[in-house]
Amino acid sequence: MARYGKQHIIGRVIVLLLLIIVMAGGGIVWFDYLNVIDAKTVLAPLYRLIRREGRSQPPAASDELLVLDAERLAVRLEALELRSLEMDRRDQDLQTREGSIEQKAQELEERQKALDEREKSINDQVDQAETKQRNVEQNARYLTGMPPDQAVAIIAAMDDQDAIDVFRVTEAIAQQEGAVSLVSVWLSRLPPQRAAVLQTKMNNQPASLY
């Protein structure tokens, strides 16, 4: 009785396995028919056994392949064009910045050149003023060492500003050295009209050569 039950169970298992195999094979055939999967190689012996031509997947037309390649190429070309435009934009930005930097550098160079020229001009004026100061001081000392009449003759030949500069430096030297200034003596021996003009200008102008 036990042996009979065991054989009965084995028979059921075999039947279930065969049913599973049949269902799996039918599923493969059906999916291959629907083009869900490509099982032509696996099912070829079965089709030959039942003397039927296996269903093959229709090959893609050459035109479709060309269209697909053309689309891929168009996408790549578009990407390259976008990249080229981006590179052109960056290059334009760099050129704009470079032009701005060059313009600012040129402006700074021009400003620096103007400052250098202005400094040179000021230095030249200072040098001229110092040279004039030394010359006027030297003339004042020469005139102070001369006889009054001879000094007055020289002063009378000067223009008004040069004479005023000599007078002021002479007074400054006399004050520094504690000596008597000869300016009043020179003015008293100049023609009265000229002496009056010189005194008026001396009073109205600042003492720039002290």
Res 152: pLDDT: 92
Res 206: pLDDT: 64
Q: Which residue, among 155, 173, 159, 158, has the nearest Cα to 210 in the 3D structure? A: 173
Res 169: pLDDT: 93
Per-residue pLDDT of the chain (210 residues; tens, 9 = 90+): 445 556 677 878 888 888 888 787 777 767 666 666 655 555 566 556 555 554 554 544 556 667 777 888 888 888 888 988 999 898 888 888 888 888 888 888 888 988 888 888 898 888 887 888 888 889 889 999 889 999 999 999 999 999 999 999 999 999 998 888 899 999 999 999 998 999 998 888 765 544
Res 53: pLDDT: 53
What gap in Å lies between CA 78 and CA 96, rounded to an integer?
27
What gap in Å lies between CA 110 and CA 46, rounded to an integer?
95
Which stretches does DSSP call E strand in 13-74?
none
Residue partners of 53: CB distance under 8 A and separation at least 6 = 47
Res 210: pLDDT: 44
Res 106: pLDDT: 87
Res 209: pLDDT: 44
Domain positions in the chain are 2-57, 132-204
Q: Which residue, among 24, 32, 90, 88, has the nearest Cα to 56 in the 3D structure? A: 32
Res 143: pLDDT: 92
Res 165: pLDDT: 92
Res 49: pLDDT: 59
Res 167: pLDDT: 92
